[in-house]
Amino acid sequence: MVEKKRLFPFELTLGVTAGGVSDLVDALTAESDRQVEEKAFQDAGQIDEFRMACDALNCWRMYLRFVEELQQETLDEETQKVFRDLCRRVAQTRKYSQDDFQSALLATHERTRLPWGFNSLRLAHGRTQRNPLQLLHPDLADAPLPTVLAGIAHELTQMQRGSDPILMPVDSLRALLGQRKLVVGGAIMRLVQAGLLEQTSKRHGTGRAREFRWRGVAGKDFLFLNESGSTSAEED
């Protein structure tokens, strides 16, 4: 039997580890306060409205982080209780009525995109580590870095929720993967040459990340190495 993964402790952000719900509340309200301060509102009503919106959105970001930490499609009942306790304590700390905060949570549910502490590249990388793929192109079948980059491109496309191109910023990928910039850039070019990535922007030297579309087809260009990835590929 596979041992159930525990939620706590986990690293919220670099150097900040949550050991329980109290740590989550502290981190969440501090981040909301930072977001409010960044807006520099002068009107007290605007500040109050925006703070509640930030608190609600950050609760949902924490929910998504739980999903990533536990690698569950739907949170188990124990973790659901942790989430409900988190929301209750945030409302209590802010002196919101519990009913009002439940309404704010409902109103912000569909706005949340990324888990707490993640950017899109880190999230895509984590997911491709859990659902690794194998490239079928003969020149890439035994190429570790292009394979990881292909997985990231695939996951970014899954997260896009639309037809917009994905960004593959070389500097960010180099830092994330601990690779040389030149090697990362060359690996992306290899995916383009193999027809797995299509570059949709031709900007060079502008300081902006190039845009791509993932063209890989499951079963033709790549295979997932586990059952869950294979299932999601068939549904796509």
Using an 8 Å Cβ cutoff, are 211 and 200 in contact? yes
**How many percent of the chain have pLDDT more than 90?**
75
Place of tokens 């895509």: 124
Confidence of residue 236 (pLDDT cuts 50, 70, 90): very low
CA angle at residue 108 from 128 to 66, to 5 degrees? 40
Domain ranges of the chain: 10-111, 120-235
What is the per-residue pLDDT across 176-219, written as a single tens digit (0 to 9) for each?
999 999 999 999 999 999 999 999 876 555 566 789 999 999 99
CATH top-level class of 120-235: mainly alpha
DSSP classification of residue 2: P
Mean pLDDT over all residues of the chain? 90
pTM above 0.85, yes or no: no
Mean pLDDT lowest for which of 38-47, 67-76, 78-87, 128-137?
67-76
> 80-88 long-range contacts, Cβ below 8 Å, gap at least 24?
82/7, 82/21, 83/59, 85/21, 86/21, 86/24, 86/25, 86/28, 86/59, 86/62, 87/59
Place of tokens 């191109």: 165
